[in-house]
Amino acid sequence: MFTISQRFPRHRFFAAKLCAIIILGSTIIPPSLGAQDYPPDRARGKAVYDRHCQNCHGSNGRGDGPAAASLNVPPTNFSRFRSFIKSDEELMRTIEHGIVFSPMHSWRGRLTDGEMQDVVAYIRVLSQYGQ
């Protein structure tokens, strides 16, 4: 006849405990508290925007930056309704991947995830008050 410790040797208990800790741990700690600095910071977003985006999109986000006139596709005016109603995720996707055949190239690799989130937060400020 088997005793309980023969059926379930110690190391199995240990492995089961470890699994439980990992599974519980990952459900309790929300993913947003991972490596990224969260929540997005508008002030940091403004710094990123002024440096990389305002040349085309304009300092108020109306698509009238100094470089806008020379572009074949006009830069988005963020306070226009069509842009305003887009979700943060949509804007984030455009920033991350860019738009094909458009001067709006991908910023993945040039900006960190945190910087992209910050700049979306700042665009939201501009689209609200930019009118």
Q: Is the dihedral of CA 108, 104, 57, 128 positive or negative?
A: negative
- The total of other beta-carbon atoms located within 10 Å of residue 131's CB is 10
CB 54 within 8 A of CB 120: no
Quote the least distance from Cβ 89 to ligand HEC, whole Å.
11
Confirm or reject binding of residue 104 to ligand HEC (CB under 6 A).
Answer: yes
8 or 79, CB closer to ligand HEC? 79
Quote the least distance from Cβ 107 to ligand HEC, whole Å.
5
Rounded to whole angstroms, how far apart are CA atoms 117 and 131? 23
Q: Is the dihedral of CA 81, 85, 90, 95 positive or negative?
A: positive
Rounded to whole angstroms, how far apart are CA atoms 105 and 85? 22
Confirm or reject binding of residue 121 to ligand HEC (CB under 6 A).
Answer: no
- The total of other beta-carbon atoms located within 10 Å of residue 28's CB is 7
Quote the least distance from Cβ 117 to ligand HEC, whole Å.
11
Near ligand HEC by CB under 6 A: residue from 53, 61, 126, 130: 53
Quote the least distance from Cβ 50 to ligand HEC, whole Å.
10
Confirm or reject binding of residue 60 to ligand HEC (CB under 6 A).
Answer: no
Name the site residues for ligand HEC (rule: CB under 6 A): 52-53, 55-57, 67, 71, 73, 75-76, 83, 86, 91, 94-95, 99, 102-104, 107, 119
